[in-house]
Amino acid sequence: MKRFLKEYAIELIAGGFILLGIFLMVARYEIRTTFLNVLTGLFSGILTILNRILSRISSRAAVLTASDILGIVLILLAVGFIIWRIRHRFHTNKRWEIDACPKCSGPIIRVHRNWLDRVLGATFLPDARRYRCMDPQCGWSGLLRRHVHRQRRHTEQVSGTGNT
């Protein structure tokens, strides 16, 4: 049963939404009116907050000087350079390419990444994958670069066939 729920969780949730939608359409209760009032209030609140934010931004932008704009541009360029440099170091440093546990030199296996790993992979560490040591006493888990040597072999074969 647990396996069934895990495998078909999305379909069961979608079915629940279908049943809820049918219930809301058929029921003679004032649920629809209450639900519509809640949604209207929610959207109204969101629009009010967005309006306040935009008015503050526009009032601040009206008093920006050239030195403020230059400062913002320099900060954004420096942040972009730091992100580019971290990505460059990740791609070129051999430390991130190991095939064994850095703690005990045991074998490692690939495991699922969490949301933070995915964010880091999208911004700072491209080709990063999470690995875990197979030794239960070690317990190491961390990010390493995907096995690049497999990609190198492919490029060597492609360049080797072009030269002959």
83 contacts: CB under 8 Å, gap ≥ 6: 123, 124
In a domain, 54, yes or no: no
Residues 42 and 103 in one domain: no
Give the gyration radius of the chain's Cα atoms: 27
Residues 100 and 163 in one domain: yes
For residue 14, the model assigns a pLDDT of: 93
Between 43 and 145, the more confident residue is 43
Residue appearing with tokens 């350079």? 81
In a domain, 125, yes or no: yes
What mean pLDDT comes out for the span 97-125? 80
Q: pLDDT tens digit string along 12-50? A: 999 999 998 888 777 767 777 788 889 999 999 999 999
What mean pLDDT comes out for the span 99-109? 83
For residue 55, the model assigns a pLDDT of: 92
In a domain, 58, yes or no: no
Domain boundary among 46, 62, 81: 46
In a domain, 21, yes or no: yes
**Mean pLDDT rounded to a whole number for the chain:** 80
- Percent of the chain predicted with pLDDT > 90: 20
Beta strands in 2-127 (DSSP E): 108-111
Q: Is 23 helix (H, G, I), strand (E, B) or coil?
A: helix
Query: What's the rounded Cα separation, in Å, for the pair 120 and 148?
Result: 18
Answer for the pair 109, 132: CB distance below 8 angstroms, yes or no: yes
Question: Does pTM surpass 0.85?
Answer: no
For residue 148, name the pLDDT band (cuts at 50, 70, 90).
Answer: very low
Answer for the pair 109, 101: CB distance below 8 angstroms, yes or no: no
**Full domain range(s) for residue 158:** 95-164
In a domain, 81, yes or no: no
30 contacts: CB under 8 Å, gap ≥ 6: none
Q: pLDDT tens digit string along 50-91? A: 999 999 988 888 888 888 888 889 999 999 999 888 878 877
Residue 107 is given by DSSP the state: B
Q: Tell me how many domains the chain contains.
A: 2
Tokens of 162: 């072009």
In a domain, 116, yes or no: yes
In a domain, 76, yes or no: no
What count of residues does the chain have? Answer: 164
What mean pLDDT comes out for the span 137-162? 60
